[in-house]
Amino acid sequence: MGAVCGKSKKQAPHLKLAGQMSLAARSAATIEEFKPGDGDGAYLLESPEDHVSLVSQYAHKKPTEQGTVLLQVKAPPYKPIPESRFKLQSGKRILRQNIETMKDTPEAKAKYCEAVMDFVRLAATYNGFLWASSHLGEIKQPFTILYLEPEQRTFAEPEQPDIEVKDTVAIGKDALEKQEEKAAETVAEKEGEQSAPKNESPESGHDATAQRKILVRYLGPESSVPHRLLATCGILPLPLDKAKELIQEGKRVDNVDEIKTIITEAGGFFGTPVA
């Protein structure tokens, strides 16, 4: 009997490993399913109700039947949006009404853009991704989202783990939540094609100022950006092509207040969407 019990104890680690492998397989499936622009999330819609309105709608799938889908905030799979948000008032909130009768003035457009920014702030609230549809230039009041991004560092960096980046979030190779979050944050930094700035050690020997040049970037159609890159962003009441004529993409920003002034004078809204 003692021998049998001893053998049973030796098998326990293998059973535990099998369980971890099963969880890893489920995690891999979650990675494949995660794609900004569809599924669970908060959606910004242009609704035909009330003389055209901007509506925030929590939904488990893209709510195309309720209006034109403009933006989506999608939370990472390791920390989904609470189910209560989908049920409270049916997950719906009107951000701006009477767009059809809105005056063509910088002041009116600024209030509209501020309503859009209210939605953009949800990306920081849920540590998620902001996705833009291809309809932002076709609606009653077109708008474009720009953000300020640190220029990519030119010196060699250690290779990152081999994680799928495009429109996905990896949640780690084991069952530990901390490792899941670390992997997801790594992908979030890569999702915008260039990672957010990190603290540089003084002994690195590189010019930290040169490494932290700030550039103007635009959120294009059918693309997404992690919340980290939206730390400083603006909404312009213009379609993408006109916005790029006003502020060139890739423009180096030496003075953030200068960009803020340009956006404000154009009837836009500039802010820091922090939860």
Q: Which pLDDT tens digit goes with each residue over 138-170?
A: 999 999 999 999 987 655 555 554 443 444 344
Residue 50 or 208, more confident: 50
Q: What is the mean pLDDT of residues 202-226?
A: 75
Burial of 202 (0-12, 13-18, 19+ CB in 10 A): exposed
92: part of which helix (H) or strand (E)?
A: strand 92-96
Q: Which residue has the higher pLDDT, 171 or 210?
A: 210
Q: What's residue 34's pLDDT?
A: 72
| CA pair distance 123, 129, nearest whole angstrom | 6
Q: Give the pLDDT band (50/70/90) at residue 214.
A: very high
User: Residue 113 above 60 pLDDT?
Assistant: yes
**CA nearest 96: which of 45, 131, 132?**
45
pLDDT mean over 70-98:
95
Contact between 265 and 111 (Cβ < 8 Å): no
- Range with lowest mean pLDDT among 16-30, 197-211, 232-246: 197-211
Calculate mean pLDDT across residues 233-244.
98
Lowest mean pLDDT among 37-51, 72-86, 124-138, 177-191: 177-191
* pLDDT at residue number 12: 59
Using CA atoms of 207, 211, 214, 217 in order, give the dihedral in degrees to the nearest 10.
Answer: 170
- The CA distance from 75 to 60, in Å, is 12
Higher pLDDT, 198 or 39: 39
pLDDT at residue 103 greater than cutoff 70 = yes
**Which token pair is 250?**
């890739």
Q: What is the C-alpha to C-alpha distance for residues 259 and 73, in angstroms, rounded to an integer?
A: 25
Confidence check: pLDDT of 238 > 90:
yes
On the question of pLDDT at 21 being above 70, the answer is no
Whether the CB-CB separation of 106 and 266 falls below 8 Å is answered with yes
Question: Would you say 81 and 126 are in contact if contact means Cβ atoms under 8 Å apart?
Answer: yes
pLDDT tens readout for residues 22-49: 544 444 545 556 789 999 999 999 999 8
Q: 41-47 and 129-132 as β-strands: parallel, antiparallel, unpaired? A: unpaired
Predicted local distance difference test score (pLDDT) of residue 191: 47
Residue 192: predicted pLDDT? 46
Query: How many alpha carbons fall within 13 Å on the CB side of residue 273?
Result: 33
Q: What share of the chain is helix, strand, coil (3-state, %, to 5)?
A: 40, 20, 40
Which residue has better confidence, 190 or 98? Answer: 98
Smallest CA-to-CA distance from 145 within 55, 70, 51 is with 70
Q: What are phi and psi of 93, to 5 degrees?
A: -145, 130
Q: Which residues contact 79 (CB under 8 A, 6 or more apart)?
A: 126, 127, 181
Q: Where are the domains of the chain?
A: 41-151+208-271
CA distance 10 to 19: 16
Q: What is the mean pLDDT of residues 45-67?
A: 95
Q: Check whether 69 has a pLDDT greater than 50.
A: yes
87 pLDDT band, cuts 50/70/90, is: very high
Q: Say whether 72 sits in a helix, a strand or coil.
A: strand
| Mean pLDDT over each residue of the chain, to the nearest integer | 79
| Mean pLDDT calculated for residue range 85-94 | 95
DSSP tag of 98: -
Q: What is the pLDDT of residue 96?
A: 96
